[in-house]
Structure 1
Amino acid sequence: MQRGEPEPGTVWTAGQVARHLKIAESTLRAWHRRYGVGPDNPQPGRYRRYTADDVIRLRRMRDLIDTGMLPSEAARSIDTEARHGGSPGEDLAETLAAARALDSARCLRLVEQALRRQGVVETWERLCRPALVTIDADQRDDPDCVDTEHALSWAISAALHRVPHPVGAPVVLLACTSTEQHCLALEALAAALAERGRPARMLGAATPTQSLARAVESSRPADVVLWSQRPDTAHLDAIRSLRHHPVRRITAGPGWPSRRPSGTEHVASLNEALTALTR
């Protein structure tokens, strides 16, 4: 369990839950009224009381929304998890506990089990991204817990690398911009493409623009995906360097500005990227 989380059998008030999750009480009420995410059986005319399972569901709701998911979609995701058995957020809670204990081997096993059970996309959206968002929030409270992020990131990366990749000429080239060091999302895309039998070549983090152009020239992919996590790494020169090559240029990640060079597509999620690259 996370620090300060209620033990099984205990209950919290709405105010305690709101402070724990760092959201407004009005947000809790809205999620319960609009999407049914809240206390299972609140009594009419009584104050709402939240159990440990309620808190797990609400944290899951918050984390999914933090990754960019609409509240309605997040609520449907939580409902799907509940109907498929197990406590909502159980995999996430166990993975976070293992990461905080720096048990990278257990993190790896948990992510691999999720991949076998539900595939790359569901594992990324329901486990990996929310876990990374939660650890990032931990770092804002305690900047010294970088080791936790490293343990979790290593486990996710190792599990994604074990997804069998098809043999064949690369159809998709994946790269980060020259100063972008975060490439886990691209690794998830490569693994998801592999599940669909679509060969991809990964250049990884901090790919120099000149090297990117040379790789496109030599491998001749149909599509190039450029990842940027933050605005300061969204280098438009990387896109422009490919304008004379017969490839589809696709930007991915939250770093890119809304206005991009003409002839460039943008994908905002793993599902959007798969749709664009497999149609």
Structure 2
Amino acid sequence: MMTPPDHTGTVPEGEPETLAAEDDPAHSVTLSVAAVARRLGVAPATLRTWDRRYGLGPSDHTTGRHRKYAPLDVARLELMQRALLRGASSAEAAKYALASPVRPVRVGQALLTGGELDGASASAGGRGLRLPSANRRARGVGRAALAMDSAAVQTLLADAIEADGVVATWDEVVRPVMSALAARWDQSGGGVEVSHLVEECVLAAVLRATPVVTSPRNHRPVLLACMPDERHNLPLYPLAAVLAQRGIGARQLGAALPSDALAVAVRRTAPAAVVLWAQLPRYADPGVVTALPRTRQQVRIFAGGPGWERGVVPQPAERINDLASAADAVERAVC
């Protein structure tokens, strides 16, 4: 539910910072459709739709003139976008933006030059992510990501984890958004900065959801590591979070762990289980698995990640797939 405006006429806490027009030296500056679209990280066509359907358009637009948005118009659009990022429908967000008291936002000259956001680049293009079958939370994260709004991305992820848990958030929100960003990069070669922003936000959100296990159920630890040269270690963090929530102690060894360092870690900790992650097939080296040192007590070895899907998983390693089944398999092995 969106926070309604209070009876005092003040802007609800957390909404865009605004200034009274008489205090704003740039209150008379107006923005083009393209400039406002870049500011919000949406397509110009989206702004035209909001104007046509909900009346959220430029106040000084008349027939035969170019559409120019005044600071007050931009403030209402920012209210609508924040409502959308919090999960409201377009109609609900528009109703909220129109009903809320607003004051003109500060509009600087930089906005007229297209230098306000990386989203102004041709690689971003202001277009949304392709998330046809994704849920509302994933679409909200996608919009916030394209707007480079890391605070909104983290807030949405935290809300999703609190409501649905780490597994559902990873499978239904994070993976669809990351897949859409990867498809965007394949098609246009752009959006790398958005992917990095999302990864950092996911990492922060998952770490906050990972409790410290002071009295683990497993007497010997679980080691989580990437294969040598594999630097994509983000999926290991939700696995660690789920294991920690189940009272299982795990130790993260990070990305691109050299095989000799992995061997040393196995000897020193005598783990109950080792999870070896490979995102790309070229890093799924069976020789790393067979070269692991023998210990007095049995070590269960799990090979995870899409890199192993077409490769050979040598004995005694076991293939793990999705996050939920991976957590279940590790839990059964060590407890």
What is the TM-score with the length of structure 1 in the denominator? 0.68
Cα distance in 2 between the residues matched to 1:172 and 1:144:
37
Aligned-residue offset at 1:258 = 4.3
User: CA separation of 1:60/1:268 partners in 2, compared to 1, >3 Å: closer, same or farther?
Assistant: farther
Aligned-residue offset at 1:2 = 7.1
Give secondary structure in 1 for the equivalent of 2:257: coil
Cα distance in 2 between the residues matched to 1:165 and 1:155:
20
Q: 2:179 matched to 1:133?
A: yes
**Cα deviation code 1:152-179 (max 9, x no counterpart):** 0000001111121312466211000111
Cα distance in 2 between the residues matched to 1:259 and 1:140:
27
Cα distance in 1 between the residues matched to 2:139 and 2:242:
24
Q: 2:167 matched to 1:121?
A: yes
Q: Residue 267 of structure 2 contacts residue 293 of structure 2 at CA under 8 Å; is this kept in 1?
A: no
1:183-198 matches, within 5 Å, as: 183-198=233-248
Equivalent in the alignment of 2:324: 271
Q: Residue 131 of structure 2 contacts residue 180 of structure 2 at CA under 8 Å; is this kept in 1?
A: no
Deviating above 4 A after TM superposition, structure 1's stretches of 4 or more consecutive aligned residues are: 1-10
Cα distance in 2 between the residues matched to 1:7 and 1:124:
32
Q: Residue 284 of structure 2 contacts residue 307 of structure 2 at CA under 8 Å; is this kept in 1?
A: yes
Q: Residue 153 of structure 1 contacts residue 184 of structure 1 at CA under 8 Å; is this kept in 2?
A: yes
Unaligned ranges ≥5, structure 2: 1-40, 54-89, 91-127
Equivalent in the alignment of 1:80: none
Cα distance in 1 between the residues matched to 2:316 and 2:206:
31
Structure 1 or 2: more helix by fraction:
1
1:1-279 matches, within 5 Å, as: 59-61=131-133, 89-163=135-209, 164-168=211-215, 171-242=221-292, 244-245=294-295, 246-256=298-308, 257-279=310-332
Cα distance in 2 between the residues matched to 1:128 and 1:147:
16
Give secondary structure in 1 for the equivalent of 2:235: helix
Cα distance in 1 between the residues matched to 2:261 and 2:242:
25
**Cα deviation code 1:2-52 (max 9, x no counterpart):** 757896899xxxxxxxxxxxxxxxxxxxxxxxxxxxxxxxxxxxxxxxxx9
User: CA separation of 1:7/1:118 partners in 2, compared to 1, >3 Å: closer, same or farther?
Assistant: farther
Aligned-residue offset at 1:243 = 5.0
**Cα deviation code 1:122-172 (max 9, x no counterpart):** 110111111111111111122131000011000000111112131246621
Aligned-residue offset at 1:59 = 3.8
User: CA separation of 1:2/1:188 partners in 2, compared to 1, >3 Å: closer, same or farther?
Assistant: farther
Q: Aligned letter for 2:324?
A: N
Unaligned ranges ≥5, structure 1: 11-51, 64-88
Aligned-residue offset at 1:247 = 0.8
Give secondary structure in 1 for the equivalent of 2:253: strand
Cα distance in 2 between the residues matched to 1:125 and 1:105:
21
Give secondary structure in 2 for the equivalent of 1:251: strand
Give secondary structure in 2 for the equivalent of 1:124: helix
Q: Which 10-residue stretch deviates more, 186-195 or 160-169?
A: 160-169
What is the TM-score with the length of structure 2 in the denominator? 0.57
CA RMSD for the aligned pairs? 2.6
Equivalent in the alignment of 1:71: none
Cα distance in 2 between the residues matched to 1:176 and 1:258:
16
Size of the aligned set, in residue pairs, is 209
Q: Residue 228 of structure 2 contacts residue 258 of structure 2 at CA under 8 Å; is this kept in 1?
A: yes
